[in-house]
Structure 1
Amino acid sequence: MTGVPQSQSQYQTQVQGPARVPSDRWRLQVVHRTQFRYGGPVRSSYNEARMTPENSSRQTTLRSRVEIEPTATVHAYRDYWGSTVTAFDTHGPHTELVVKATSVVEAGPEPHLPDPVDWTALAEPDVLDRFGEFLRPSRLTAMDEPVVAAVREVVGDAGPREAGRLVCRFVYEHMEYLTGSTNVKTNAMQAWTSGKGVCQDISHVSVGLLRALGLPARYVSGYLHPKPSAQIGQAVTGESHAWVEWWDGGWSGYDPTNVVEIGTRHVTLARGRDYTDVPPLKGIFSGPKSEGSKVTVEVTRLA
């Protein structure tokens, strides 16, 4: 990929979109701003942002721009999981760092989901090899056997696609969404045992149980417009969101926090084994201790 000269300090992609939007799609603008403050001048900072929405069969990114203050050298690339990464570093003294990502996306349901395979096909050696990284439990997604056994009873004789939905509903019915009850280091069993968490935890539990059943599963990060009846042009406060996908002949997406299919209100950013593969922003710096950060997400339905 092409690096951006230091004087520009931004990464931008643009695709020309149609004037009219199909009835089963929404055009959304997302503005995601993160501000870090430091106790004194920071000399150097190295960072990675995963804030550029993907292009896929269900989602088209019309415009996307990542702006950084202070001036930084920027380089964009796709990581191992296929997510777009904006890597940047800055070396002039600064007491705050601001990263602002602005995107316009058209999103809708998956239009071409293949017929599901059966459990026998999922157990074939080539499938196990192809999706090995999405079948093994990670530190954040491993679930204890008693919970897995309970899910097996719930799933019963259901096929893989229906089993995926049943798992997500099972997690939804047993976990309370509660902001501030966990942090980014909380693992699936800790959240499950407490019976509460945020979308990250609910997705980690769902991914862990899907994998334990033999369904390749991955963690997805992005945004969710919070209002199903959103008025066009109305800006609302949003936040980063997470959901899951499992492979049953094709990648089926589901939002276990809200027990809904992925559709017009979901904007996909990145995928991975768990949250550690997809944080919106991460990095290191040399200088005084950080005094904290402020994150805002504004979502507007444009059409």
Structure 2
Amino acid sequence: MSERLGLSIRHHTGFTYDGLAKASYNEARMTPRSLSTQSVQTSKILVRPVIPVSTHVDYFGTVVTVFDIQENHPQLEVEATSQVESWAATLESPLGWSELRSERLTDRFSEFLLPTHRTTLVGTVEKEIEDWQNVADVHQCVEAASEYVRNEIAYVPGATTVSATAQEAWDRRKGVCQDITHVTIGLLRAMGIPARYVSGYLYPASEPTVGDVVEGQSHAWVEYFSGSWTGIDPTNGVRETERHIIVGHGRDYDDVAPLKGIYQGPASTQLGVVVEIRRTH
């Protein structure tokens, strides 16, 4: 694979209603941003029914598209398209444990050290945490924790719901990338390592062909602070690569849900998610 990867991404999602929704307010977090490992050439979000949208960057640095539909509508569709060039990050030498736990850094990253409802784990892996904390290199410690979670939790689509917590996935010992990410974040924070949730896309082809359209994935993985933010994908057992396209960061899934909102009307059903990715160069 080339050092730089050009990708064209299409992400389609939405809801259908058992009747007519009378009004809805929605936020979409489906737009990649230019960062140290990726450059966004173009991006666009289309909403049906067609209505004006506004865009801002939230507290955690994620692009948010906001739209308010006041007309009656039986269905809501959102499609995001983007052209991105990405490359793998360089793994930098980590801070030592004493500096990582200094008052300056614990205060700076308190939001990514405190457990949330989604990432809390109760009385499960204390012995493993003690062993990992004896590893001098923070990168190696994170790799050990990530591998442990990957071995303990089977990847089983449909085993959990989008509202599942780390504790629920841990108790069941199965889940999807969202669950594996939440559990890993919970363990890292318990060790005093700042960790945040990453939402984005994964280009699955290890040997991609230019021009081929493949079924991509909405994906989740972890970034931890070791002197700089460093990505690791516990679901796939790899570090963040050029095949990982970042959309958003947050404390957990609730901060980066691709599409969420409120509406007035009958029950709704998600249309499903389609992610298509084509390599451009």
**Which TM-score band (shorter chain)?**
over 0.9
Matched, 1:257 2:235: yes
Partner Cα separation in structure 1 for residue 124 and residue 68 of structure 2: 46
Task: Give the equivalent residue in structure 2 for 1:195.
Answer: 173
Q: Following TM superposition, where does structure 1 have runs of at least 4 consecutive aligned residues deviating by more than 4 angstroms?
A: none
Task: Give the equivalent residue in structure 1 for 2:222.
Answer: 244
- Counterpart of 2:226, as a letter, is D
Stretches of structure 2 lacking an aligned partner (at least 5 in a row)? none
Residues 173-252 of structure 1: pairs in structure 2 closer than 5 A? 173-252=151-230
Q: Is the 8 A contact 1:155 1:167 kept in 2?
A: no
Matched, 1:63 2:34: no
Q: Is the 8 A contact 1:83 1:270 kept in 2?
A: yes
Match 2:98 to one of 115, 120, 131: 120
Q: CA deviation at 1:239?
A: 2.1
Determine which structure has greater relative contact order: mean sequence separation of CA pairs < 8 Å that are 6+ residues apart, divided by chain length. Answer: 2
Task: Give the equivalent residue in structure 2 for 1:269.
Answer: 247
Aligned-residue identity in percent:
43
Task: Give the equivalent residue in structure 1 for 2:12.
Answer: 33
Partner Cα separation in structure 1 for residue 33 and residue 269 of structure 2: 32
Partner Cα separation in structure 1 for residue 76 and residue 135 of structure 2: 53
Give TM-score, length-normalised by structure 2: 0.96
Partner Cα separation in structure 1 for residue 270 and residue 164 of structure 2: 20
- Counterpart of 2:77, as a letter, is V
Bigger shift: residues 200-209 or 226-235: 226-235
Question: Across the two proteins, how many residue pairs are aligned to each other?
Answer: 281
- Counterpart of 2:184, as a letter, is S
Q: Is the 8 A contact 1:151 1:170 kept in 2?
A: no
Matched, 1:163 2:141: yes
- Counterpart of 2:130, as a letter, is R
Give TM-score, length-normalised by structure 1: 0.89
Match 1:152 to one of 120, 130, 152: 130
Q: Is the 8 A contact 2:97 2:136 kept in 1?
A: no
Give deviations 1:238-260, integer Å, cap 9, x for gaps.
22100000001111100000011
- Counterpart of 1:205, as a letter, is V
Q: Is the 8 A contact 2:96 2:136 kept in 1?
A: no
Indicate how the Cα distance of structure 1 residues 55 and 266 shifts in structure 2: closer, same or farther if over 3 A, else same: same
Partner Cα separation in structure 1 for residue 40 and residue 104 of structure 2: 33
